[in-house]
Amino acid sequence: MLDNRIIIEKLFENDTDERGFPLNDWKTYYTCWSDFKAVSGKEYISAKATSSENVVTFTIRYSEKVKLIIEDAESTKRYRIKFKNKIYDIIYISDFENKHRFVDFKCKLVS
């Protein structure tokens, strides 16, 4: 059931600030419906600090815009997903059985 609206954002690094440093500007690339699945929630202790990691999967329909993301070798760095005002970094992208019908985005919650 594709009943959750997500925004796939793309990082544009063309602009610079007044001192010449690059500006990282995330802009909406594609808005679509998805299926949302919580895959795992891990807590671990590192250097006396407790951390948590939430991994989720967004399943969306294959399209020309999604095809361009899959073909981009740096896609896990150039794209991210925004869902319910939270940001998810893309860890892995999978075209289910290479049938070009549905694509899974495995993501990690950032904020």
Q: What is the pLDDT of residues 62-111, one digit of tens each?
A: 999 999 999 998 888 999 999 999 999 999 999 988 899 999 999 999 97
Please, is 101 exposed, middle or buried when counting C-beta atoms within 10 Å of its C-beta (0-12, 13-18, 19+)?
exposed
Tell me which fold the domain 4-109 belongs to. Thrombin, subunit H (2.40.10)
pLDDT in tens, 15-28: 677 787 777 789 99
- Whether residue 51 is predicted with pLDDT greater than 60 in this model: the reply is no
Domain boundaries, the chain: 4-109
Kindly write down the DSSP assignment for every residue of 80-91, as one continuous string. EEEETTEEEEEE
Instruction: List phi, psi (to 5°) of 24.
Output: -90, 110
pLDDT classification of 36: cutoffs 50, 70, 90: very high
pLDDT confidence band for 13 (50 / 70 / 90): confident
Q: DSSP class of residue 16?
A: B
